[in-house]
Chains A and B, each alone.
Chain A
Amino acid sequence: MPHIIIHTPGLLTTIQDQGRHGYQRFGMPVAGAMDLFSMALCNILVGNPHDAACMEATLIGPEIIFSSSGAIAICGADMGPCINGKPISLWTTMEVKKDDRLSFTGLKTGCRTYIAFAGGIDVPMVMNSRSTYLRAKISGFKGRALKLGDKIPLGSLHQKVSIKQVPSVLVPQYRAFQTIQILPGPEEKRFNLESIRTFLSSEYMISEQSDRMGYRLTGPKIELPEAGADIISAGVSPGTIQVPGNGQPIVLMADRQTTGGYTRIANVVSVHLSLLAQMKPGDRIRFKAITLDKAQELVSIRKQVLAKMF
């Protein structure tokens, strides 16, 4: 069986796919890749289905040794990937040989890098997904982040992988300041005009208390509605922006709980969630409202772009 050995694990490296859908009614979070766009691209580059399981590395990349020849692709954050010490490109298919060593020199841009292996990662499906959900310690590799010495099985390759490259116009630009597009949330109308103005005109910083579950932002306080910060607990979606009692917004990300009890002021649009997932503590954002029609059109355009690419 082809496999890889984790020589050093990096800061937080987990196995993720498109997430665990269909169990949210039981309180089971979706999890999955934070940046679904980069995940889809690196899978396409190695001939995998868009939603095959990949490795998601956070801020500091892992060091990996290959047991056999194959192909990989790296998309997302540029952590300075090298094979046997020689720099390699992101956003393209790379061939690897037995005993090759993949390492990373250090983070240059973005926050999360995705490594796809031709043939996929052969860990068991748990409830229709291979995504690691850390808080319940399930799925991925033994329900946890990768560790030194882990031997991760890969799927077998049935055909030779052709070399592909993501056209440069499609490669996202990761910056420390971004405008993130949003839609008004379910409780937006409860906030007064002044609160909405504060929310839409201020800069917010991504705080250190940010992880796969959510990004806590710091910035000008959003005055709460008269009814307060709490709602009857109800469902939340990817990118839901909550305003808790302290008036500092929280953006819910991949490992979010299925339900929450804070007012939902807005929702990050799908295509911008991937961009946000590449921002890290200390980076700054500003929100811009768009329409639902526009947001759904952006999803369609992205889909067409991915379909046409190869």
Chain B
Amino acid sequence: MRAPLQYIPSGDSALIIKAGDDISIETNGIVRKLLIRIEQENIDGIIDFIPAYNELMVCYDPIIVGYRALLDIFASLTDDIETVELPESGIIHVPVLYGGRNGEDLPEVAFCHNLSEEEVIHIHSLPNYRVYMLGFTPGFCYLGGMDEKISTPRKQNPRMKIPAGAVGIAGNQTGIYPIVSPGGWQLIGRTPLRLFDPNRNPEFLFQAGDTIKFYPISKDEYGEIGNAIEEGRYETKRTNIP
């Protein structure tokens, strides 16, 4: 038996449905199920959702629907929440040009763990990573599943400008910068994929619940994929989860 869902107000225009206190596929799965179930209902007054690791924030307009009314609606929607089917997105493959100018910290990460650069690349591109949630900047994915063998502390001096597509490591997390931003992550490579493009439909490449896998590419391939994206003829590589 799972712990019961907890409902917590977050100001007068949002509430939280908490599914647990941990970071796990199971708890995060409940968050996804809540989002699917509630969104299906098209409840008047709900204007936005923020799914996170272990809770779902529901943003609403209190003029249209009050806190208590929402709790009543949610109570009837969530008693069999476990039965909601989660869509299977398959694996989204993310090409990465590791090292060199695009991954300046790869030697440092390798040195830190007494590994070769090739070993770091191998360890980083082996697992299937789970997109637990998005946040921080538009399109930034909080990924779970990195091998602790390459966990590396953040840089002492954060960089002022990190390019879009940079792939980095911070502690036991790995991630991709979707837009140019400052940051302290150890940069090990760069993907030509655009995680966020306001002029594309859909605007965002990933969503919570996706599974992604990195694969190393050469400088030439990086250029080719970049051109294909520019010309609108690139198709993101997807496979089924074996």
Q: A residues near B, CB below 8 A?
A: 21-30, 126-127, 135-136, 138-139, 183, 185-186, 232-240, 257-259, 264, 267-270, 292, 295-296, 298-300, 303
Contact = CB atoms under 8 A, between A and B. Distances in A.
B136 A257 contact: yes
Contacts of A259: 50, 52, 133, 135-136
Contact of B62 (A28, A139, A234, A300): A300
Contacts of A235: 10, 14, 16, 50-52, 55-57, 135
Interface of B: 8-14, 16, 21-23, 35, 47-57, 59, 62-63, 66-67, 133-140, 142, 178-179, 181, 196, 198, 203-204, 207-208
Contact of A27 (B10, B67, B136): B136
A171 B49 CA distance: 33
A239 B142 CA distance: 24
B11 A269 contact: yes
Given A126-B198, A269-B11, A296-B62, A25 B54 contact: no
Nearest to B58: A235
A23 B207 CA distance: 11
Contacts of B53: 232-234
B9 A23 contact: no
Contacts of B136: 27, 257, 259
18 contacts: A23-B48, A23-B203, A135-B137, A135-B181, A185-B11, A186-B8, A232-B23, A234-B54, A235-B16, A236-B57, A237-B11, A258-B135, A259-B136, A267-B9, A269-B12, A270-B13, A292-B12, A296-B66
- Interchain residue pairs A-B with the least CB separation, the first 3: A259-B135, A235-B57, A235-B50
Given A22-B48, A233-B135, A300 B63 contact: yes
Contacts of A21: 47-48, 59
B165 to A, nearest CB: 14
A23 B203 CA distance: 10
Contact of B10 (A30, A237, A258, A303): A237
Contacts of A26: 134, 138-139, 196, 203-204, 207
B142 A233 contact: yes
A235 to B, nearest CB: 3
Nearest to A299: B62
Contact of A257 (B47, B51, B55, B137): B137
A27 B178 CA distance: 10
Nearest to A143: B198
Nearest to B132: A233
Task: Name which of B9, B49, B142, B204 has the most chain A CB atoms within 10 A of its CB.
Answer: B9
A24 B50 contact: yes
A186 B10 contact: yes
Nearest to B54: A232
A245 B135 CA distance: 21
Given A238-B11, A257-B137, A259-B133, 16 more contacts: A21-B48, A22-B47, A22-B48, A23-B138, A26-B139, A135-B137, A236-B10, A237-B13, A238-B13, A259-B52, A267-B12, A268-B11, A295-B11, A296-B62, A298-B12, A299-B13
Given A24-B59, A296-B66, A258 B198 contact: no
Nearest to B205: A26
Given A234-B57, A238-B11, A270-B13, A27 B139 contact: yes
A136 B66 CA distance: 33
A27 B52 contact: no
Nearest to A303: B63
Contact of B135 (A238, A240, A257, A264): A257
A263 to B, nearest CB: 13
A127 B197 CA distance: 11
Nearest to B55: A234
Contact of B57 (A30, A237, A239, A299): A237
A302 B16 CA distance: 25
A264 B35 CA distance: 22
Contacts of A233: 52-53, 133, 135, 142
Given A234-B55, A259-B52, A296-B62, A27 B12 contact: no
Contacts of A236: 10, 50, 57
A111 B137 CA distance: 27
Contacts of B133: 233, 259
Contacts of B13: 237-238, 270, 299
Nearest to B14: A237
Contacts of A240: 10-11
Task: Name which of B14, B16, B22, B56 has the most chain A CB atoms within 10 A of its CB.
Answer: B14
Contacts of B196: 26, 136
B200 to A, nearest CB: 11
B207 A25 contact: yes
A102 to B, nearest CB: 31
A153 B218 CA distance: 46
Contacts of A232: 21-23, 52-54
B138 A28 contact: yes
Nearest to A269: B12
B62 A27 contact: no
